[in-house]
Structure 1
Amino acid sequence: MKLKTMALAAALALLGSTAFAQIREHTFKIGTGITDDHPQALAAKHFGEGLAAKSGGKLNAKVFANGTLGNDVTMISALRGGSLEMTIPDSSTLVSVVKDFGVLNLPMTFNNEQEADAVLDSAFGKKLLDKLPEKGLIGLGYWENGFRHTSNSRRPITKAEDFAGLKLRVIQSPLFIDSFAALGANATPLPFTELYSAMEQRAVDGQENPAATILTSKFYEVQKHLVLSRHIYSTWVFLLSKKSWDTLNADEQKIVREAAAEATQFERKAIRALADKALGELKKVGMQITELPPAEQAKLREKLQPVVAKFSKEFGEDTTREMMAELNKARGK
């Protein structure tokens, strides 16, 4: 029996070494503009741990946070050129590459995170990702950024009209610019990496981001007022350079896909847990948080309808219809 046990152990060890024989050593560089304690960066590290576990330690990942490798736009360009391997940009910054991604940010579309998951994880969400390889990118999954809220250093926002006159930093996207212009604000596009200093120097009055980002980026140090506007749901896309992907063999690609799928679930769970407690933490550090009454939220929706109509056409009416069909399916309609 002892000999049989030893023989079985030896066979399993040989099998394990054979299984990893096709895996080559490699460390993927992942660039992100978010702080290294944010769920996005933590999930990227989780992805690296998954790679190592599935590859016998041969595949790994190293995360470069805080915009050290550039902003979303420059990092996407670096992926397409092959000088960077991975990044996790907001889907809005992919519009210049594949315009269809813009529909995911149409204002006031999703009511909750579960609706977003249903759409992103559907055949529709996969269809969007399948448009990326011809542009030099591989989409490995959708990570949650969350519902975006608006902060500023000047005054509380208690009604739809209070957005008027505020100089607010927005993502470098025509949709975001037009959305806040429709609310009467002075929309100012800036890279995320420049945002804190712009608010500190009062070059802008405020910004719009999910609560988790406002907390981890310490925007409360330079912002007093936060309104839970929920004007846009924001998702990140976990990307790999196609030039890097094409250097991987089938076994390595399988491991990358599996580790990415696990990291996606990890990220969504982690960011929702942080979002639940972020508002309480922001109150503790002195932010004044307001919530728009239903009537004011309805006014917000009404002001943004022309923007939705304009960009539904611009991003593709067929794509918009497909997304809404998936959304209605998730709502049981």
Structure 2
Amino acid sequence: MRKLIATMALAGAMTAAMMSAARAEKDIVFAHVFAANSLEQETAEVFAKKVAEFSKGELKVTVFPASQLGGWNQIATQQRSGAVHVTIISTSALGSFSPLATVDVWPFIFETREQFDKAYASEDGKAFFKAIEAESGYRVLAPTYKGFRNVYLRHDADDLKGQKIRVPGLPIVLRSFEAWGASPTPMDMAEIYTAMQQGVVDGIEIEAQTALSSGMGDVTKTVLMTKHMMPNYAFIFYGAWLDELPEAERVALEQASAEASKYFADKIAIAEAQALEAFKPKGANIKEVDLNAMKSQVSGLDKEFPDQYGWVKRLQAAAGMN
């Protein structure tokens, strides 16, 4: 009997150890489209460390940068199946799942970072992200400022007229660039450098630090300071998957998102300025443009996209702009 009890105790201990090991090895897959030398990758690594800390080692995050698991559409699909659990990207990337998410790319929605922060921290800001999840199923956590978007051209020019510009394939973005006289061309992030190098496109619109980490410094002759968009970055999960987790694990992921977002926010202002300066010694001209003219040219978007415009006005009001 003693031998049987001892055997049962040993088996129980081994089972408990195996269960503990299984918990410790529970893997969270983090995939994103940004370069391995980018601030986004640094932020993903901070997220991984914080998840391990807040979960007491029960969760392990493996990060796959630079579209290793596919472009955004592939990542989003894998999130629905559970093959990928988290990514970092602009809310507007969810535009194919939720038209409201494209509010993020409304031209000149905010003028300053302070307005951006105030709007998304407000009750209307929180309601905005809940509305996106209701339409798409994706949960947006810890949105943060990621810089103005400007235009990077492979040749000399003073404006966007006649330029073939790589853009996200979102209706608001397409109509905005058409209004500015450009030919907007949707294209995956992973294809940008080759497209610029070979002249498939004349330029891209993107944030300075992302442009630099994507190699645009080698193929850019002109930076047009359009400051046409101020999208956010956020940690994006599939809401149903997140809700199925034990509460402690879900809270660990939420806390890690907030901490990593703060890390990015603390770094971004310096990174944005440094990235723009880095284009100069590579031979690029930094040019100002007529922002008032650009704003006037897209003044009719409110009639084309009334649902999104309603949220634009709510967020601007929350930012103290109205």
Normalising by structure 2, we get a TM-score of 0.87
Q: How far has the Cα of 1:243 moved from its partner?
A: 4.5
- In the TM superposition, what is the alpha-carbon distance from 1:314 to its structure 2 partner? 4.1
2:301 partner letter = V
In structure 2, how many angstroms separate the alpha carbons of the residues matched to 1:309 and 1:104?
Answer: 17
Q: Distance in 1 between matches of 2:280 and 2:161?
A: 25
The 3-state SS of whatever aligns with 2:96 is coil
Q: What are the equivalent positions in structure 2 for 1:55-204 lying under 5 Å apart?
A: 55-134=55-134, 135-157=136-158, 162-204=159-201
Distance 1:77 1:143, change over 3 A: farther
Residue 89 of structure 1 deviates from its aligned partner by 2.5
Tell me if 1:315 matches 2:308: yes
**1:170-249 mapped onto 2 (5 Å cutoff):** 170-249=167-246
Quick one: which amino acid aligns to residue 156 of structure 2? R
2: CA distance between counterparts of 1:132 and 1:180? 24
Residue 309 of structure 1 and its aligned partner are, at CA, apart by 4.2
**Residues 35, 41 of structure 2: 8 Å contact kept:** yes
Q: Which whole-Å CA distance do the structure 2 matches of 1:92 and 1:104 have between them?
A: 5
Q: 1:119 to 1:100 in 2, by over 3 A?
A: same
Instruction: Map 1:9-20 to 2 at 5 A.
Output: none
Rounded to whole Å, the distance in 1 between the matches of 2:173 and 2:133 is 26
Change (3 A) 1:112 1:321: closer
**What SS does the aligned partner of 2:277 have?**
helix
Aligned position for 2:16: none
Q: Does the CA contact (< 8 Å) of 2:234 and 2:261 recur in 1?
A: no
1:85 partner letter: H
- 1:100 partner letter: L
CA displacement 1:155-214 (0-9 Å, x = unmatched) = 232xxxx21111111111111111110011111111111111111111111110111111
Partner of 2:15: none
Contact 1:84/1:241, CA 8 A, preserved across alignment: no
Q: Is the Cα contact below 8 Å between 2:120 and 2:315 reproduced in 1?
A: no
Q: CA deviation at 1:262?
A: 0.8
Task: Kindly provide the amino acid, as one letter, of the partner of residue 203 in structure 1.
Answer: V
- Cα pair distance change 1:81/1:168, threshold 3 Å: same
**Consecutive unaligned residues in structure 1, runs of 5 or more:** 1-20
Contact 2:117 2:144 survives alignment (8 Å): no
Q: Give the structure 2 partner of residue 24 of structure 1.
A: 23
Contact 1:169 1:187 in 2 (8 A): yes
Matched with 1:273 is 270
Which is further off, 246-255 or 203-212?
A: 246-255
Aligned residue for 1:24, secondary structure, equals helix
| Amino-acid identity (%) | 25
C-alpha distance in structure 2 between counterparts of 1:214 and 1:252, whole Å = 35
**Secondary structure of 2:201's match?**
coil
Alignment partner of 1:324 is 2:316 = yes
Question: What is aligned with 1:15?
Answer: none
- Tell me, what secondary structure is at the counterpart of 2:210? helix
Matched letter for residue 193 of structure 2: Y
Displacement after TM superposition at 1:121 (Å): 1.8
Q: In 1, distance between residues paired with 2:53 and 2:59?
A: 9
Task: Give 3-state SS (helix, strand or coil) of 2:265's partner.
Answer: helix
1:266–1:309 distance in 2 versus 1, CA, 3 Å: farther
- Which blocks of at least 5 consecutive residues in structure 2 are unaligned? 1-19
Check conservation: 1:107, 1:231, Cα contact below 8 A: yes
| TM-score after normalising by structure 1 | 0.84
Verify the 8 A CA contact 2:116 2:145 in the aligned structure 1: no
Q: CA deviation at 1:320?
A: 3.1
Rounded Cα–Cα distance in structure 2 between residues aligned with 1:251 and 1:90 = 27
Does structure 2 retain, via aligned residues, the 8 Å contact 1:82–1:243? Answer: no
- Residues 214-243 of structure 1: per-residue CA shift (max 9 Å, x gap): 111111212211111101112123112334
